Structure 1
Amino acid sequence: MLDEREALANEGSGRGMPFGMHGANTAELRDIAGRFTFRGGMVLQSASTLRGQIERIDWEGPDRDRFVDEWRARTDRALVDLGDLVERIGIHDLPRQADEQDDASAAAGGTGGAGVPDRGDVESGKSDGERRAHDTRVDDPDRHETVPDEIPNDEVAIDPYDINQQALGDCWALASIAAVAGTDPELLAENVQYDEASNDYLVTLYEDGEPIEVRVDGSFVYNDEAGAYEYAVGDDGMPNYASVYEKAIADHYGESYGDIWGGKPEEALALITGREIETQGFDPFLPWQQGATSDSIAGSIDSGQSVVLTTRNDLPDDSPIVGRHAYTVVDVRDDNSVVLYNPWGANPESGLTSEPGLEPGEVVVPADQLDTYFRSSSATK
């Protein structure tokens, strides 16, 4: 017999759901997730606008200095944290709840909701015009230059430091490629097969853990005016294994490089490895959630997992860490500081990059500064 309280709750819900149903309308969850993401971005934009207006006030003296210092330390920080929190709920938490509900419904023989929110995450702050400027089709012969010989793709050639992102806003994918190159180069080598007769590459990617094959040719976007390849290349300026993967990912998502401008590292890691991915925020929004720490990152690295960190959206221009960006985790030191690699192959000069012996693109972040610069950590399982 149906519990009376449950019957009343269902009757008053107005959702038209059958009595006894538990769970959520996943289409609505995803719709709300998009709204959270949008509203979080609005809060961050408001913080940026107010910050600029305050800095431009025609006001001098100690009172002005005290006011600005207090604004930066309290109000501005609170607004940025709020925007990050709301945006993270929309980008990570609500979609994950919807996915889990769909999985539970499928296991029970039911159906889940439809529709997914925008993939845009890191580097999504770029304008639509900038994104459209890179809507070059992966098969456009007028924009490509052919590499006639096989691009080395053995375990020696797959070097996590041999990636230069260049013009395309796909750090989410390239940082993930570098992370896997550092922990499982054999997988990347095995999943790219070269066809000498056609000069094509057959790349194995994964959807829901199942392998899929994407075929791309050996030509890559070339800028005639600059006399150089435009997107991911190695340190020598020539296409390499990362270029092949980048082209395959672009083809998979929509046949245009603009389709991979902005995205989520957890999505790229799953696409490249076929494994489950765990994403943790550095500031979990629910008290019982486990947040990312240097210890949790160290545990992932010690277990041979590939780890990528996503930065906060509103870091200042002079920050030593780039905002709306993704970094590959290289190592966690004994003092719990985290060594990261920037897929740009370089970093803004700062105290975090001035340590002798660092590779180009490496940066060292102390454990107590991780939540200042980063909002989430994604790791393969």
Structure 2
Amino acid sequence: MVFRGFDATKLTALASDLDALAQNSGKLHSQLAMLLTSAQQNLPPGQNASRNPDLQDLVGDVVPMPSFFGRRRLPGALGGELGDMQASMKRRIKQLEGLQELAGKGYPVSDGSVFLDEKAPDAKKIDDALKHLRELRGKDFGTNGNRDDLEKISGELDGLTAAEVDALVSQASPKDLAFYNELLTCTDDSVWNPFDKNGLPEDARRGTLGRMLSKISPENFGKFQTAFPGTQPTFTNTGAFEEGGNNQNGQNNNGIHWQTPTDPLFQDGVSADDVNQRQFGDCWYVASLAGLAQKDPKFIQDGIKQNPNGTVSVRVWDKDGNYQWVTMTPDLPTDQNGNPISTYGNGESWPAYYEKAFAMAYSDDGDDERGYGGIEGDDPKKSAPYLTGREGEDLTTGGFLGIGKGEDKDLDSLRSAFESGKVVTVSTPADEGLDKNHPKEWGNTYHSNHAYYVRGFTDDGKVILGNPWGTSGYPPITVTQEQFNQYFGGAEAFDAP
């Protein structure tokens, strides 16, 4: 029977043919190599058995060697490749057959679930998980709270395949999912029993929801985000939304909305020049991100991945030092013309997803504001623990962004930290008079109440600073010790992993 345009019977026959070819490839390799070797032995010196360099390489290669002895040559190399191919096909055919059976029982099956390389879905597992989810409503959790019950549900959901999770989310009512979110997020103790444990800690909660989000089909993204609003950071609390742009760099917008970009995560690797802060006022974080991209591009690249369903996961540490992957839908804040509002790259989107993950994970002590508005205006050194799991440090005694002009701002200390491998950021005072009263050669790159990152030093000891707004229109500036004392208010550093 054909399911979603695929005939499992014919595909199984094709996989069997590939298996047979794989088993015969070694014999074919040996026979061809023997023929060419014999021909070579009977030719005059200087002549080759074949004009094709790949075939000529087979001379003397009578026994095809495994890949760990070096590059495998055709046709012997086809043994492993065809074997892997047919094994993958057989797994996916079982998945296809399982989905067909699932659909026959009335379960919704998304097109994205077809041919997933995972175990075939089990209807009983879906039924059981959905039943246990619904049983949470009205349940007596006892004197110890509901955390143990929620941990059990979380483990059950983690054990489901992508197709099973997607079917569960499709089958569950919005009220079922919203009530589950309510239980997950409420960690208050009972008044009469201060020792009970309710909800899940933030890292555990985000981990469970992130794993679910990474498995469901795009058709369920909206339903999931409505039930679990913490999986999509708001932008309505930002200056870009409330004021229509960024009053520092002059960028403005109309009609901010969510839209998925067409650019890849990476185009040509990672560089600090990829980082372009746009309309959200989080220069303190973006400057740190650019500095880390400069110091350790591999760490940045290893810390982000795209999942099969299009969601993106970014490695983040929370305020308590808990390591986690923050998973998010691929849509980003965009203006009415499709231009990105958030931090973006030059034809690559990875900086935007780092920023989005940070907007989901960051929370300042005593401040419950979340989303993009929650990351606007803060101390650059506070971004370090979220980016690397390590604390940042002040290199001057003058405090942080917008507060004073540090008393001890020797550029040698910045240089020593930078050359030891640290990411170094600097900030400017909240003195708007400096926006007009600064060296002309700095142009629009300099701005008050702003953060920068150190790109390097000149031979004569001047510091080279990069603006997180990007190098296009804001080229790096060179700053002397005297200028630094007058126009900058502090410096921070953190270790690049």
Normalised to the residue count of structure 2, the TM-score between the two structures is 0.42
- State the one-letter code of the partner of 1:291: D
Q: Does 1:338 align with 2:452?
A: no
SS in 2 for 1:379: strand
Superposition pairs of residues 41-80 of structure 1, within 5 angstroms:
none
Given the superposition, is the C-alpha separation of residues 278 and 340 from structure 1 closer, same or farther in structure 2, using an over 3 Å criterion?
same
Larger RCO (CA within 8 A; separation ≥ 6): 1
Query: How far off its partner does 1:244 sit?
Result: 0.9
Query: How far off its partner does 1:167 sit?
Result: 1.1
Q: Deviations over 1:6-45 (max 9, x none)?
A: xxxxxxxxxxxxxxxxxxxxxxxxxxxxxxxxxxxxxxxx
Which of 400, 411, 415 is the aligned partner of 1:298?
Answer: 415
Alignment gaps of 5+ in structure 1: 1-127, 136-141, 349-359
- State the one-letter code of the partner of 2:426: L
- State the one-letter code of the partner of 1:234: G
- State the one-letter code of the partner of 1:217: T
Given the superposition, is the C-alpha separation of residues 261 and 283 from structure 1 closer, same or farther in structure 2, using an over 3 Å criterion?
closer
SS in 2 for 1:329: strand
Please name the residue that 2:375 is paired with: 260
- State the one-letter code of the partner of 1:322: H
In 2, Cα distance between equivalents of 1:256 and 1:150 = 24
Query: How well do the aligned residues superpose, as a CA RMSD in angstroms?
Result: 2.9
- State the one-letter code of the partner of 2:309: S
Q: Does 1:177 align with 2:289?
A: yes
- State the one-letter code of the partner of 1:308: T
- State the one-letter code of the partner of 2:461: N
Query: How far off its partner does 1:133 sit?
Result: 2.1
Superposition pairs of residues 89-238 of structure 1, within 5 angstroms:
130=239, 133=242, 143-147=257-261, 150-152=264-266, 156-195=268-307, 197-207=308-318, 208-224=320-336, 226-236=337-347
- State the one-letter code of the partner of 1:260: I
- State the one-letter code of the partner of 1:200: T
**Residues 132, 258 of structure 1: 8 Å contact kept:** no
Please name the residue that 2:353 is paired with: 244
- State the one-letter code of the partner of 2:450: H
Query: How far off its partner does 1:163 sit?
Result: 1.8
**Residues 171, 326 of structure 1: 8 Å contact kept:** yes
In 2, Cα distance between equivalents of 1:149 and 1:216 = 16
SS in 1 for 2:395: strand
Q: Does 1:277 align with 2:389?
A: no
In 2, Cα distance between equivalents of 1:144 and 1:370 = 40
In 2, Cα distance between equivalents of 1:299 and 1:129 = 37
In 2, Cα distance between equivalents of 1:300 and 1:216 = 34
**Residues 131, 261 of structure 1: 8 Å contact kept:** no
Q: Deviations over 1:29-85 (max 9, x none)?
A: xxxxxxxxxxxxxxxxxxxxxxxxxxxxxxxxxxxxxxxxxxxxxxxxxxxxxxxxx
Q: Deviations over 1:282-318 (max 9, x none)?
A: 658xxxx983321011111111110110111114231
Please name the residue that 2:25 is paired with: none
Superposition pairs of residues 324-363 of structure 1, within 5 angstroms:
324-346=449-471, 360-363=474-477
Given the superposition, is the C-alpha separation of residues 157 and 209 from structure 1 closer, same or farther in structure 2, using an over 3 Å criterion?
same
Normalised to the residue count of structure 1, the TM-score between the two structures is 0.54
The count of corresponding residues between Structure 1 and Structure 2 is 229
In 2, Cα distance between equivalents of 1:266 and 1:297 = 14
Given the superposition, is the C-alpha separation of residues 129 and 273 from structure 1 closer, same or farther in structure 2, using an over 3 Å criterion?
closer
Q: Deviations over 1:127-185 (max 9, x none)?
A: x88376289xxxxxx811113574128xx521101222111111111101000001111
SS in 2 for 1:229: coil
SS in 2 for 1:248: helix
In 2, Cα distance between equivalents of 1:373 and 1:380 = 22
- State the one-letter code of the partner of 1:270: P
Superposition pairs of residues 18-57 of structure 1, within 5 angstroms:
none
Larger radius of gyration: 2
Q: Comparing both structures, which one devotes a greater share of its residues to strand? A: 1
In 2, Cα distance between equivalents of 1:372 and 1:150 = 42
Structure 1 runs of 4+ off > 6 angstroms?
Answer: none
Moved more, 370-379 or 314-323: 314-323
SS in 2 for 1:306: strand
In 1, Cα distance between equivalents of 2:472 and 2:432 = 15
Query: How far off its partner does 1:255 sit?
Result: 5.1
SS in 2 for 1:178: helix
Alignment gaps of 5+ in structure 2: 1-236, 245-255, 363-368, 400-405
